[in-house]
A and B are shown apart, each in its own frame.
Chain A
Amino acid sequence: MSDKKKQITRRSFLKTAAAATGTATIAGCSGGLLGSSEAFALEFQEYFKEHYRLMTDEERTDTIERLERLSEIKKNTTIDIDSTKPQENVLYGYAFNVTRCEGFMECVDACVKENNLDRESKNQYIRIFEMENGEMLPDQGDGKFFHQVPRKGHFYMGVQCFQCENPPCVKACPTKATWKEKDGIVVVDYDWCIGCRYCMAACPYWGRRFNWNQPQIPKKEVNKKQHYLGNRSRVRGMMEKCTFCIQRSRKGKVTACVEACPTGARVFGNLLDPDSEIRFVLKNKKVYRLKEDLGTDPKFWYFND
């Protein structure tokens, strides 16, 4: 069977299923026993929706409308979900200046706010390790330091998802719910993930996070500028990860961590643009990457001044 035909049969199957259940739900809940029947119908359509990569542009618009409406009904929050595609001739890369970082953790804070990370479990995409001079790898350092920084005789190393060119997590996922976009960002289709956590076991950089509980964010702290593959709201039981702030980067902005860093230790940019800062770093500094021996080819470099 050709791919196209397969998609069409699948699509029609899902549509029929969604329509049938949707109608049944609207009929069954018109009394409003289970909250708003509109929300219920929308959630049912969401349940039967297609894998994001296989959706047509029209279906993508539909699901975004449903999600925005659901947020209005259920959380009384008006959000704006973006679905900007990867830009032409863009491949994102990141460099971390080990000499400059002083462990202030402004990046962690900015990341939590920008990406709507769960406050209850104190979820963080970025980890900063305090290392003694002479050490090399973050696993020798202290990832839980709590004292005045910078500390004498120490330096700081930040880790997050390294957006590998050869990502083991993507290979592991049994439902293709995580993949690498054309601009090099490894993303998760939150609604397609079943929460088996095989990608977590496969990641050699501890770059992925699981929602063990229902994520909680105070209503006034919700970042309303969202991306479908980025910082939109997640529920318990699904994987998430750093997306190089896809909602920002695809609009031509730098990531929240780069913007927040007070020492200028973080460099983010387009690897395909010869005039970018990241290219300057790669060309003029002595750079290295973590666990190169695994062949994952991360797009995240460390360097010293």
Chain B
Amino acid sequence: MDKTKLLKGILSFVKDIITWNLKGSRAYHIYLLVLLGLIMVGVCAYIVQFREGLAVTNMSNIVSWGFYISNFTFLVGVAAAAVMLILPSYIFNDKDLHKVVIIGEVVAVGALVMCMTFIFVDLGRPLQFWHLVPGPGELNFPSSILSWDIIVLNGYLVLNAMIPAYILYCHYQGKEPVGKYYKPFVFISIGWAVAIHMVTAFLYQGLPARPFWNNPLMGPRFLASAFAAGPAIISCVLYFINNRTTYKIEEAIFNKLRIIIVSAAVINLLMLFSEIFKEFYFPTHHSQSAVYLFFGLKGHNSLVPWIWTAIVINLAGTIVLAVKPKEGKFTVPALVLLIIGIWIEKGIGLIVPGLVPSPMGEITSYAPSGVELLITVGIVGLGMFVITMLLRPALIIEQKYEEEHGH
């Protein structure tokens, strides 16, 4: 009897979620169609890559990881950043941030979906991915850091999907969620968020073959840049929600996020400066990658404009956010600048120089090929689609619950 009731409850929950996602204004439908179009572009490009092999990318035996892994690395940070909302709301009982925790978690789920898709499209033999699944396959745990990464990313996805699902389901039924059922997982997810980012940093940091990566600052710097870029993306999503929906977000929330972003961005820049000092005060053989990144080597300087742009817009974004002009109109552009800056610096500006010069001293240039760009577009479309599909019902449920319970 109880079971059928639960089943009915879940069925109506799922049914309502689907209906809410399909209903909407004309603009919303166009937006969804655009996202689906992007996904289709990605799928078509992937079919080409699947048939021809990774030769359709611009990767080579020297630059063996490129745009996919760069984007993956950046997005792991975005996923981890949800913790900057969870931590203050659950540990310091911050009421303002508590209101937007679910939004942060939804963004994390979207980011994780993109991360995993980026890894998948980077595989040479995707059909063999089951070799990674313990049981039928063989996971090289604990020796391979990549196996750790697979575990922590999947675990984090489950945590960030299950916790909001439970809370929303309770709110949907007009009930208060029972703390003991989900709070332990919330605390686990806080540590787990740090873990996904540290482990991803260790993926690179643990390779003595690559002096540019083999650097103990990598993990902490990953966290700092993530805690700047992630909340910046969440802020942008919140601005969008605030302006385009009936769900209102208080100014205090934006201000708190701004303080988090600025602090993290300043720490990130300090660590970046520390790294630059180490590479250039007394350049060694191991500084070649940094020289390649910042100034170019033997005429190969495709990354130089990118990294300087990244540094300039990183600084500009941080300063604007720190001084907070009275006019709110500068905030969103500053956030966008900061996001792009960190995306360059931690994406392609981190991955490619780690691989160039090759261990045998060979230097080459890399820029993503058309197929790589199109697949990336498709994956970003997929991520936005997932976030939209989860966020829309979440906001409707939350708004109803707040109206009924007068928070």
Size bracket of the B interface: 35 or more
Q: Which residue of B lies closest to A197 (CB)?
A: B64
Q: Is A177 close to B, CB under 8 A?
A: yes
Interface, chain A (partner B; CB < 8 A): 9-10, 13-14, 17, 47, 51, 54, 121, 127, 129, 137-141, 143, 159, 168, 171-177, 191-198, 200-206, 209-214, 235-239, 294-295
> Which residues of the partner chain B approach A197 to less than 8 Å between Cβ atoms?
64-65, 122, 124
Interface majority SS (helix, strand, loop, mixed), chain A: loop
Other 4 A-B pairs with CB < 8 A, given A9-B135, A174-B150: A193-B128, A205-B359, A212-B57, A237-B54
In the complex, what's the smallest C-beta–C-beta distance from B10 to chain A, in angstroms?
A: 31
Q: Which residue of B lies closest to A235 (CB)?
A: B125
> Which residues of the partner chain A approach B59 to less than 8 Å between Cβ atoms?
212
Contact string against A for B residues 113-129, beta-carbon threshold 8 Å, 1 for contact and 0 otherwise: 00000010011111111
Known: A175-B132, A203-B209, A236-B54. A195 touches B125 (CB 8 A): yes
Docked complex Cα distance between A9 and B134 (Å)? 12
Docked complex Cα distance between A9 and B137 (Å)? 12
- B135-150 contacts to A, CB under 8 A, are 135-140, 143-147, 150
Q: Is B358 close to A, CB under 8 A?
A: yes
Is B53 touching A168 in the complex (CB atoms < 8 A)?
A: no
> Which residues of the partner chain A approach B57 to less than 8 Å between Cβ atoms?
212
In the complex, what's the smallest C-beta–C-beta distance from A19 to chain B, in angstroms?
A: 14
Is B131 touching A171 in the complex (CB atoms < 8 A)?
A: no
A-B contact number at CB 8 A: 147
Q: Is B357 close to A, CB under 8 A?
A: yes
Docked complex Cα distance between A193 and B54 (Å)? 15
Is B128 touching A194 in the complex (CB atoms < 8 A)?
A: yes
Docked complex Cα distance between A237 and B126 (Å)? 9
Residue picked from A175, A192, A204, most chain B C-beta under 10 Å:
A175
Q: Which residue of B lies closest to A177 (CB)?
A: B131
- B357-385 contacts to A, CB under 8 A, are 357-362
Is B150 touching A212 in the complex (CB atoms < 8 A)?
A: no
Known: A175-B138, A201-B65. A194 touches B129 (CB 8 A): yes
Is A211 touching B209 in the complex (CB atoms < 8 A)?
A: no
CB-contact partner of A201 in B54, B119, B210, under 8 A: B210
Known: A138-B361, A206-B358, A206-B360. A212 touches B60 (CB 8 A): yes
> Which residues of the partner chain B approach A174 to less than 8 Å between Cβ atoms?
132, 139-140, 144, 146-147, 150
Q: Is B61 close to A, CB under 8 A?
A: yes
Known: A194-B132, A210-B124. A143 touches B209 (CB 8 A): no
Docked complex Cα distance between A235 and B131 (Å)? 17
Query: Could you give 28 example pairs across A and B, Cβ below 8 Å?
Result: A14-B136, A51-B131, A51-B138, A54-B138, A137-B361, A143-B360, A159-B360, A173-B140, A174-B132, A174-B144, A174-B147, A175-B139, A177-B131, A191-B128, A192-B131, A193-B125, A194-B126, A195-B124, A195-B128, A196-B146, A198-B144, A201-B207, A210-B64, A211-B53, A212-B60, A212-B61, A237-B53, A238-B124
Q: Which residue of A lies closest to B355 (CB)?
A: A201
Is A139 touching B360 in the complex (CB atoms < 8 A)?
A: yes
Is A201 touching B64 in the complex (CB atoms < 8 A)?
A: yes
Is B54 touching A196 in the complex (CB atoms < 8 A)?
A: no
Q: Is B6 close to A, CB under 8 A?
A: no
> Which residues of the partner chain B approach A210 to less than 8 Å between Cβ atoms?
54, 61, 64, 124
> Which residues of the partner chain B approach A203 to less than 8 Å between Cβ atoms?
209, 359
CB-contact partner of B208 in A193, A212, A294, under 8 A: A294
Q: Is B91 close to A, CB under 8 A?
A: no
Is B53 touching A172 in the complex (CB atoms < 8 A)?
A: no
In the complex, what's the smallest C-beta–C-beta distance from A127 to chain B, in angstroms?
A: 7
CB-contact partner of A200 in B53, B64, B119, B145, under 8 A: B64
- B201-240 contacts to A, CB under 8 A, are 203-204, 207-210
In the complex, what's the smallest C-beta–C-beta distance from B215 to chain A, in angstroms?
A: 15
Known: A168-B207, A212-B53, A294-B209. A140 touches B361 (CB 8 A): yes
> Which residues of the partner chain A approach B140 to less than 8 Å between Cβ atoms?
173-176
> Which residues of the partner chain B approach A192 to less than 8 Å between Cβ atoms?
128, 131, 138
In the complex, what's the smallest C-beta–C-beta distance from B355 to chain A, in angstroms?
A: 7
CB-contact partner of B55 in A127, A159, A213, under 8 A: A213
> Which residues of the partner chain A approach B138 to less than 8 Å between Cβ atoms?
51, 54, 175-176, 192
Residue picked from A9, A138, A140, A174, most chain B C-beta under 10 Å:
A174
> Which residues of the partner chain B approach A54 to less than 8 Å between Cβ atoms?
138
Docked complex Cα distance between A169 and B30 (Å)? 48
Is B124 touching A138 in the complex (CB atoms < 8 A)?
A: no
Q: Is B52 close to A, CB under 8 A?
A: yes
Is A129 touching B360 in the complex (CB atoms < 8 A)?
A: yes
Is A139 touching B359 in the complex (CB atoms < 8 A)?
A: yes
> Which residues of the partner chain A approach B143 to less than 8 Å between Cβ atoms?
171
Which 6 pairs across A and B sit closest by C-beta, in order of nearness? Answer: A195-B124, A139-B361, A237-B124, A204-B209, A236-B53, A213-B55
In the complex, what's the smallest C-beta–C-beta distance from A131 to chain B, in angstroms?
A: 11
